[in-house]
Structure 1
Amino acid sequence: MSEHEVTTYDGCVHALKQPALRQSLYDAAAIMMSDVLVNLHGQEHRARRLVEGTIFRKDVFLKYEKTFLPRTLDETIRPFLEAGHGDLVDIGYRVMMNLTVDFAGIDRPERSAEETGELLRLLKEFSLAPALGQSLEDDLEPKKARIREAMGEFDTRFLTPSRRRREAMLAEVEAGRMEKEELPDDVLMALILGQEKLQMTDEQFLQEGIFYMLAGAHTTIHSLAHAMHELFEWLDANPQDIALLKDDPYFIQRCVFESLRLHPSSPVAKRRALCPVTLAQGDEVPEGDEVVVNMRAANRNPEFFGDAPDTYNPHREVTRGKMPYGLSMGYGMHACIGRNLAIGVEPKPNSTPEDHQYGTVPLIVEALLKFGVQRDPEGVPKKDETITRITWSEYPVVFKPDEALI
């Protein structure tokens, strides 16, 4: 079997739209991701996406932006503000983990520091799974054993109690003792409401619960760390743009879009041919061969992204009809279902700051700037050297509210 790489923007779009190409990027992570939404194909994928799509609505997203995110930010960042310093990666993990588990439907009855720490520990164990296929290590069994153990702990302490509570609430609704509108707006509740149609097993519920916790927190902190680094670098070189942080309500979001274009969470997508397929460039892909969709290369196409597409420029003019963040959130049937929650929507000519959906990453960037975040002059950011994907493992910062740029 052979690999066929696609690097052009239009070629990648064509490949990502082909129903005869199934997701294969996470095949190495099957122990935790074999039956999650991103790995399903065909009718099974459509059915689950339709069920989960019932809560991926603008009104729900705005509620999280305006209600849950400010509270989570305040709770999570306060200790770091009091200390005057912290690690951006650690802070991002804590903020996004707390926000994501709420959206996924994972209850935190204690809401204690110990409980948050336990979820964070499990999240970091889960993050080993999607990187298995990118690992530079020869023996992956120790990591797989850690993942299996973490899955069991998560199921016992968090997933199963959360599921049983929602099933009990649904029973109350069906008995007429509770209004349906009182049910929580989260992924787990949506799956329970759609269970007659989906017929999910306990293992599938477990995998899906972990997947949303992982996708919402782990991949988002990847985007947050890159966004902050690129913004620090840009403002150092272009201090005149500091004024835009206050004067242009959409500037920070555009900064995030540009960083995401350069640093997609998954630089490539991989698809396995279920039958012979012809790619846009004319290559014939036999059944069983793998197609590597190089989104990092596509995002740097000068035809659509202008001069110096390998560099960061939040003022970049993008060809009309192309997304400013390129293909970093996917395309076609497997486009990120939580895209609008993570990065918001592109501002329209009639957008107003009051009703615009910014996304959690731009709002966290804004909040950090308001708290006076700066790079720690005595710290050294470090990248993760254990995988091929470029991501930050440590990023020391300090907080100086008196010097805040916003």
Structure 2
Amino acid sequence: MAEIEVQSFGGCVHALRQADLRQSLYDEAALMMGRAVVNLHGAEHRARRGVEAVMFRKDIFLHYEKNVLPQTLAETLAPFLAEGRGDLVEIGYRIMMNLTIDFTGVDRPLRSAEETGELLRLLKEFSLAPALGQARDPADVADKKRRIALAMEEFRTRFLDPSLARRQALIDRCKAGEIDRGELPKDVLTALLLGRDELGMSDAEFVQEGIFFVLAGAHTTIHSLTHAVHEIWNWLTAHPEDVERIRSDPYFIQQCVYESLRLHPSSPVARRRALCPVTLKDGEIVEAGQEVAVNLRTANHDVELFGDDANRFNPHRTVRSNFRYGLSMGDGVHACLGRHLAIGVDPKPGSDPDKHQYGVVPLIVAGLLRQGLRPDPDDAPEKDETITRITWARYPIIFKPEEALL
């Protein structure tokens, strides 16, 4: 049965909101994501999100922005600043891995550079999974699945099982009245353990969920970060008058990130499979079992919504606030859970810049610009040619703090 492609912005929004179209983008990666929250549907999906929602609150996001990120950024950048150069992809991975590991609830007992390197190695193996359906060479899929399975088992035994055991012991002490509930860790795994009876989660599902949150928080954010830096640097080179705007407008970098995200969604196409006959916005009928390709990249270039220059980066673009970054964070029940942690919220008129939620990607961009980041003129960045999605395999940068834009 041939798939149906939806390209119009309105058509994509409509498709993403249909309860009888289930998530199918990660069907090829079922070994790692089949029972993760991103792949659940209906009542199971609502229940899992409901339990995890305790971690997706403004106060927690602001805590990460103001208290956790600055220290993580300083510690991660220190060796690269000393060297005067680095790879933005690697730097981004290290920053976001440290943030998302803690947010997920995976313990790092050693907290050493070697341990960080081991987690990064595993994370990069996990990152093969979401793109399995986008592989250019189908012959690579079997080998990648083998590597993913090995990485999952290593992650489970070395990091996840001990983290779950420590949290369960604390929960048991809490139930026995030995400690207060407020003393329990505030992370996703603790929330899931507290709701385990309600959710009926298996050990295998804990493995998939733990990996999913680490991967979603780090890998997809790296994609957004690298594209944002590339677009912002090219824009400022061509529009030096906006350097002052970056210095004077606390919201401008966030606006730039929104525009870059619109052009470069982490998943350019969302996929849904019909559970029963479904009527799309244009009246076309999707038969039960038929797949719908929701073309987010094309929708995000809609000239009626984004203007005649919709295919170009323009941080001054005027767009309805709820579509500033298009559909890059999805829509409907599978809209990205962590979008406000990643890119913040749209500033309202009269917002207090000191209390505003900017998102970690805009704040990391700002932190890099303060250190004089610029693309390495002697080492051009390279895109990943093994998948159809446009992403950077490496992005060499240098630091010139004496020439910093901020």
TM above 0.5, one fold? yes
Distance (whole Å) between structure 1 residues aligned to residue 241 and residue 321 of structure 2: 29
SS at match of 1:314: coil
Is residue 158 from structure 1 mapped to residue 159 from structure 2 by the alignment?
yes
* Amino acid of the structure 2 residue aligned with 1:316: R
Distance (whole Å) between structure 2 residues aligned to residue 259 and residue 183 of structure 1: 38
Identity %: 64
Q: CA deviation at 1:173?
A: 1.1
Is residue 228 from structure 1 mapped to residue 232 from structure 2 by the alignment?
no
Is residue 353 from structure 1 mapped to residue 353 from structure 2 by the alignment?
yes
Is residue 211 from structure 1 mapped to residue 212 from structure 2 by the alignment?
yes
SS at match of 1:53: helix
Spell out, residue by residue over 1:280-335, the C-alpha distance to the aligned partner (whole angstroms, 9 max, x if none): 011111111100101111111111112310000000011x3542001000000000
- Name the structure 1 match of 2:185: 184
Distance (whole Å) between structure 2 residues aligned to residue 15 and residue 136 of structure 1: 26
CA RMSD of aligned residues (A): 0.7
Whether the 8 Å CA contact 1:373–1:404 is kept in 2: the answer is yes
- Name the structure 2 match of 1:368: 368
Whether the 8 Å CA contact 1:256–1:361 is kept in 2: the answer is yes
List alignment gaps of at least 5 residues for structure 2.
none
Q: CA deviation at 1:102?
A: 0.5
Distance (whole Å) between structure 1 residues aligned to residue 268 and residue 146 of structure 2: 27
* Amino acid of the structure 1 residue aligned with 2:188: V
Is residue 167 from structure 1 mapped to residue 173 from structure 2 by the alignment?
no
Is residue 403 from structure 1 mapped to residue 384 from structure 2 by the alignment?
no
List alignment gaps of at least 5 residues for structure 1.
none
Distance (whole Å) between structure 2 residues aligned to residue 286 and residue 145 of structure 1: 34
Distance (whole Å) between structure 2 residues aligned to residue 386 and residue 306 of structure 1: 32
Whether the 8 Å CA contact 2:123–2:215 is kept in 1: the answer is yes
Distance (whole Å) between structure 2 residues aligned to residue 341 and residue 310 of structure 1: 26
Is residue 31 from structure 1 mapped to residue 31 from structure 2 by the alignment?
yes
Whether the 8 Å CA contact 1:60–1:185 is kept in 2: the answer is no
Q: In terms of mean alpha carbon deviation, does 382-391 or 300-309 score higher? A: 300-309
Whether the 8 Å CA contact 1:375–1:397 is kept in 2: the answer is yes
* Amino acid of the structure 2 residue aligned with 1:98: N
Is residue 198 from structure 1 mapped to residue 199 from structure 2 by the alignment?
yes
**What does 1:2-401 align with in structure 2 at a 5 Å threshold?**
2-139=2-139, 140-318=141-319, 320=320, 322-401=322-401
Q: CA deviation at 1:350?
A: 2.5
Q: CA deviation at 1:183?
A: 1.3
Distance (whole Å) between structure 1 residues aligned to residue 152 and residue 64 of structure 2: 27
Distance (whole Å) between structure 2 residues aligned to residue 6 and residue 116 of structure 1: 41
Q: In terms of mean alpha carbon deviation, does 108-117 or 137-146 score higher? A: 137-146
Spell out, residue by residue over 1:324-360, the C-alpha distance to the aligned partner (whole angstroms, 9 max, x if none): 0010000000000000000000000121111100001
Distance (whole Å) between structure 1 residues aligned to residue 232 and residue 33 of structure 2: 33
Whether the 8 Å CA contact 1:305–1:316 is kept in 2: the answer is yes
* Amino acid of the structure 2 residue aligned with 1:158: F
Q: CA deviation at 1:199?
A: 1.1
Distance (whole Å) between structure 1 residues aligned to residue 116 and residue 185 of structure 2: 21
Distance (whole Å) between structure 2 residues aligned to residue 321 and residue 81 of structure 1: 37
Judging changes above 3 Å, is the alpha-carbon distance between structure 1 residues 321 and 371 closer, same or farther for their aligned structure 2 residues?
closer
Spell out, residue by residue over 1:152-198, the C-alpha distance to the aligned partner (whole angstroms, 9 max, x if none): 00000100101011111111111111111111211111101111100
Distance (whole Å) between structure 1 residues aligned to residue 350 and residue 194 of structure 2: 36
Whether the 8 Å CA contact 2:321–2:346 is kept in 1: the answer is no
Distance (whole Å) between structure 2 residues aligned to residue 97 and residue 368 of structure 1: 17
Whether the 8 Å CA contact 1:304–1:322 is kept in 2: the answer is no
The number of aligned residues is: 405
Q: CA deviation at 1:138?
A: 2.6
TM-score (normalised: structure 1): 0.99
* Amino acid of the structure 2 residue aligned with 1:310: N
* Amino acid of the structure 1 residue aligned with 2:44: E
Point out 4+ residue stretches in structure 1 off by more than 2 angstroms.
Answer: none
SS at match of 2:323: coil
